[in-house]
Structure 1
Amino acid sequence: MNQSITFEDFTKVDLRVGTILEVNDFPKARKPAYQLTIDFGDLGIRKTSAQITTLYEKEDLLQKQVVAVVNFANKQIANFMSECLVLGAVRGKDVMLLNPENKIKNGTAVL
């Protein structure tokens, strides 16, 4: 376990639900990854990359809802600008995306 944080620290992380609209291969990434375009409703459309190629095919990700941190500073990854961080449970090289059990409005906050 990492260092403990306060509830105030946690409230600084803006977690939201979004729907994946587009999935592309990311050949310039150091590790196998996809480039994702995600709709966060009123927050707009954001792009990110995700190392989720071992468990997910591109076509299975379309219209899938995911949970992401939307208030990170943008990060350059190879020739691509990442605008959010999709959350997943990590087991070895596999990353399983976190997602709501039922469909929910894009942009809904996760607490």
Structure 2
Amino acid sequence: MSETITFEDFSKIDLRVGTVIEVNDFPKARKPAYQLTIDFGDLGIKKTSAQITALYSKEDLLDRQIVANVNFAEKQIANFRSQCLVIGAVDSEKVILLSPEEQVPNGTPIR
């Protein structure tokens, strides 16, 4: 288990639902990855890199709703600026994306 945090610490994390609107290969990444463009509704469009090629094809991801942290500081990955972090469960080096069971508006907060 990780270090214990306070509710105040947790409340700083902004998790939102978004829809993947574009998926591209990311050949400059050190490990196989995609570049995702995600629509977060009123929060706008954000881009990220995700090492999820083991379980997901580009076609699987397009139009899929996902959960992401939208208030991380941007991170430079090779020649790409990642603006959010897609959330998933990690199992034996594979990432299983978290997503709502039903369609919800883009930008819906996770509490």
What TM-score do the two structures reach when normalised by structure 2?
0.99
Q: In structure 2, list runs of 5 or more residues that go unmatched.
A: none
Number of equivalences: 111
| Correspondence for 1:32 | 32
Structure 1 residue 72 corresponds to structure 2 residue 85? no
Residue type of the partner of 2:72? F
Percent of residue pairs identical: 72
| SS state at 2:59 partner | helix
Alignment of 1:54 with 2:47, yes or no, is no
Please list every run of at least 4 consecutive aligned residues from structure 1 whose deviation after the TM superposition is greater than 6 angstroms: none
Unpaired segments ≥5 residues, structure 1: none
- Looking at structure 2, the residues matched to 69 and 21 of structure 1 have their Cα atoms a distance apart, in angstroms, of 17
Residue 99 in structure 1 maps to residue 99 in structure 2: yes
Instruction: Please state how far the C-alpha of 1:44 moved relative to its aligned partner.
Output: 0.1
Q: How far, CA to CA, are the matches of 2:6 and 2:22 in structure 1?
A: 36
TM-score with structure 1 setting the length: 0.99
Structure 2 distance, partners of 1:27, 1:21, is 19
